[in-house]
Structure 1
Amino acid sequence: MSGLTLAGVSAAYRDATVLHEVDLAARPGELLVVLGPSGAGKSTVLRVVAGLEPATTGRVHIAGRDVTDLRPGLRNVSMVFQSYALFPHLSVAENIAFGLEVRDVPRRTARERARAAAETVGCAGLLGRRPGQLSGGERQRVALARALVREPDVFLLDEPLSNLDLTLRVEMRAELRALHDRLGATMVHVTHDQTEALVLADRIAVLRDGRVEQVGTPEQIWRTPASTFVARFVGSPAMNLLPADAAVCRTGDAPPLPEQPLEVGFRPEAVTLDAAEGTPATVDRVEVIGEDAYAYLTLAAGHRVVARVPAARRPARDESVRVGVRWADAHLFHADSGRRYVP
């Protein structure tokens, strides 16, 4: 199996540096998700790996080979784009086989491999159609088959599900994860959707402004965010963040705070509204989502907090409540850098 390593990779457009000395690795057979907001540099990572953009510093290794100076066709990667990039005048079979035929693979062999790839992703019944006759989900399967047929060392997936409606996106998300597990392939999947990242990934790399903010398993990213940026970006609603010395009731074993500027972070599920000696707060609004409700609160000192509560026991708007925070589920961050505080 093949892996991917970026060592100190930077990339620039004109005078703007987009990637800043990125160190990142996808282990052999791993599904690595690169997560971040628009402009974080996610797609640029893929384009540098594929050879579509040059690295201004650093090296790129694929399957143990230094490919930094190789043109795209020699890197043995396959890329699935957000737009699918299918040829409208070619049939599905011809689209899938196209990359093989331009590499002088005999047509019969190329068509046989195209059919096998189509069967793997569930679009073998579409081989005679053209892209204009396909739904979004069907086009996505064809794009995956076209990437699969080349038997690459690394699959690069650039927001491949973002053009699908919610129901189909959830379905294709599950199919993509199942496909990865069957193939045991190395995949790098770019998305801005934190739910997609948490569901799909073996590990997640969170990017911010062209820098790697944190790399870890979905559980590590969720439970131990390395910075306030990760804490805010992963989670909906986002993690609550307050000055650590804010007058909010801390329940459980709450040790003394160190004498330095810190922020405390806690997810909505760590907030209790039945603390006997809790901090006074007013309910601004309540959002009900199935069995859960999110209460948006303003503390007496003016800080805003979101609490997750059972919908059946939700407070009313403008109700006065008392707020507590389970300290065992809280996180401390340096107020100046935003990085996680380690005692």
Structure 2
Amino acid sequence: MSDPGLALAGVSAAYRGATVLHEVDLAVARGELLVVLGPSGAGKSTVLRVVAGLEPVTAGRVRIAGRDVTGERPGRRNVSMVFQSYALFPHLSVAENIAFGLEVRDTPRAVARERARAAAETVGCAGLLDRRPAQLSGGERQRVALARALVREPDVFLLDEPLSNLDQALRVQMRAELRALHDRLGATMVHVTHDQTEALVLADRIAVLRDGRIEQVGTPDEIWRTPATTFVARFVGSPAMNLLPADGPLRPGGDPPPGVEAGGMRIGFRPEAVTLDAADGTDATVDRVEVVGEDAYAYLTLAAGHPVVARVPAARRPGRGAAVRVAVHWPDVHVFHADSGRRYAP
């Protein structure tokens, strides 16, 4: 990457004596929206806090806009952070909340208020400038928090699960607005979430984090179509990817890829790759069925006891307890090493 807006090189960090980030290498291009995705406790928020200077590193370097900021105080790093809780001052108006960061840095009051108004217009909350946070909805508070981050004109925006407190409908709306805002500004953004759908929709690239280590970095399409590990394969996708022993009872049809016959492999395939009632399929029993609109998810148990999930049209879903025959074909199958969980690479 020739021109990173943000780079972490071999960064480790500890909390109460326990290492929570392990030699993380991560580069974010100028103008890129990178989403850090992972479960609770993976170290996602710690990545943001290390970049912001709120947590020290025990090893490695942090560079922002080409400048080494590893030892610099938070106020000198020129980053803006949007928190899950919004962190608005309840006694200040919207205009005062947005302008607060400028005024404490001795920006002339008139200049700060004009920049606050411009930022409010950018995120669609210019009509709320005289209100207090208690008079705002969750979506309106989120826009104010974004405007407060925007007004500082930072080198990097850091967003710590900013949509998680919103209801589902508003979350869908706000993530579309956030993506549109990024595209208008051409800003460098790092967005943390545990929501895989949010990551796939928002990101230019996704960094999947597990136990303080990077599992994979790639475009949403790469993360979905070529997961690097069994963890990524199962974390991204709902229901999760099916994983079975490669030498188990389900043998996909056609010519297998190299390495599968060598032993010590697992095969993975998504629920939409499964066919039921195939003439050459493996016997299975339907345990339960979940209907989601036009689709249904059939939770099956193969004759040998392995679980499999299949996505089928809701109108043609099998009943609980039904006997079916399960098939999947090699082009739809991913192959992983059983011991390491890494994707097989011939």
TM range (shorter): over 0.9
Secondary structure at the counterpart of residue 13 of structure 2: strand
Aligned residues: 343
Letter in 2 for 1:44: T
Mapped pair 1:312 → 2:315: yes
Secondary structure at the counterpart of residue 261 of structure 2: coil
Counterpart for residue 134 of structure 1: 136
Deviation of 1:274 (Å): 2.9
- Distance in 1 separating the partners of 2:137 and 2:257: 57
Counterpart for residue 333 of structure 1: 336
Change (3 A) 1:75 1:240: same
- Distance in 1 separating the partners of 2:247 and 2:59: 43
What are the Cα deviations for residues 286-305 of structure 1, in whole angstroms up to 9, with x where unaligned?
Answer: 11111111110000000000
What are the Cα deviations for residues 49-78 of structure 1, in whole angstroms up to 9, with x where unaligned?
Answer: 000000110000000000001100000000
Deviation of 1:254 (Å): 2.8
Contact 1:249–1:277 (CA<8 Å) still a contact in 2? no
Letter in 2 for 1:71: R
Letter in 2 for 1:285: R
Large movers: runs of 4+ above 4 Å: none
Deviation of 1:140 (Å): 0.2
Counterpart for residue 217 of structure 1: 219
Secondary structure at the counterpart of residue 323 of structure 1: strand
Deviation of 1:25 (Å): 1.0
Give the structure-2-normalised TM-score: 0.98
Counterpart for residue 167 of structure 2: 165
Contact 1:253–1:328 (CA<8 Å) still a contact in 2? no
- Distance in 2 separating the partners of 1:311 and 1:252: 28
Q: Which moved more, 1:324-333 or 1:147-156?
A: 324-333
Contact 2:4–2:27 (CA<8 Å) still a contact in 1? no
Secondary structure at the counterpart of residue 33 of structure 1: strand
Q: Which moved more, 1:245-254 or 1:153-162?
A: 245-254
Deviation of 1:226 (Å): 0.4
What are the Cα deviations for residues 250-286 of structure 1, in whole angstroms up to 9, with x where unaligned?
Answer: 1343347232311110000111113211100001111
Give the structure-1-normalised TM-score: 0.98
Instruction: Give the 5 Å matches for 1:31-42.
Output: 31-42=33-44
- Distance in 1 separating the partners of 2:335 and 2:147: 46
What are the Cα deviations for residues 109-135 of structure 1, in whole angstroms up to 9, with x where unaligned?
Answer: 000000000000000000000001111
- Distance in 2 separating the partners of 1:2 and 1:326: 41
- Distance in 1 separating the partners of 2:115 and 2:45: 29
- Distance in 2 separating the partners of 1:249 and 1:67: 53
Instruction: Give the 5 Å matches for 1:170-189.
Output: 170-189=172-191
- Distance in 2 separating the partners of 1:252 and 1:244: 14
Q: Flag structure 2 segments of 5+ consecutive residues without an equivalent.
A: none
Instruction: Give the 5 Å matches for 1:271-286.
Output: 271-286=274-289
What are the Cα deviations for residues 215-248 of structure 1, in whole angstroms up to 9, with x where unaligned?
Answer: 0000000000000100110000000001111111
Deviation of 1:2 (Å): 6.6
Instruction: Give the 5 Å matches for 1:124-273.
Output: 124-255=126-257, 257-273=260-276
Deviation of 1:15 (Å): 1.6
Change (3 A) 1:255 1:16: closer
Secondary structure at the counterpart of residue 252 of structure 2: strand
Q: Which moved more, 1:269-278 or 1:156-165?
A: 269-278
Give the alignment partner of residue 302 of structure 1, picking from 294, 300, 305: 305
- Distance in 2 separating the partners of 1:139 and 1:255: 52
Contact 1:278–1:324 (CA<8 Å) still a contact in 2? yes
Contact 1:279–1:322 (CA<8 Å) still a contact in 2? yes
Secondary structure at the counterpart of residue 251 of structure 1: coil
Letter in 2 for 1:70: E
Contact 1:84–1:139 (CA<8 Å) still a contact in 2? yes
Change (3 A) 1:255 1:72: closer
- Distance in 1 separating the partners of 2:21 and 2:262: 36
Counterpart for residue 79 of structure 1: 81
Change (3 A) 1:51 1:253: same
- Distance in 2 separating the partners of 1:250 and 1:11: 44
Letter in 1 for 2:204: D
Deviation of 1:107 (Å): 0.3
Identity, in percent, stands at 84
- Distance in 2 separating the partners of 1:296 and 1:252: 25
- Distance in 1 separating the partners of 2:133 and 2:38: 30
Secondary structure at the counterpart of residue 84 of structure 2: coil
Counterpart for residue 325 of structure 2: 322
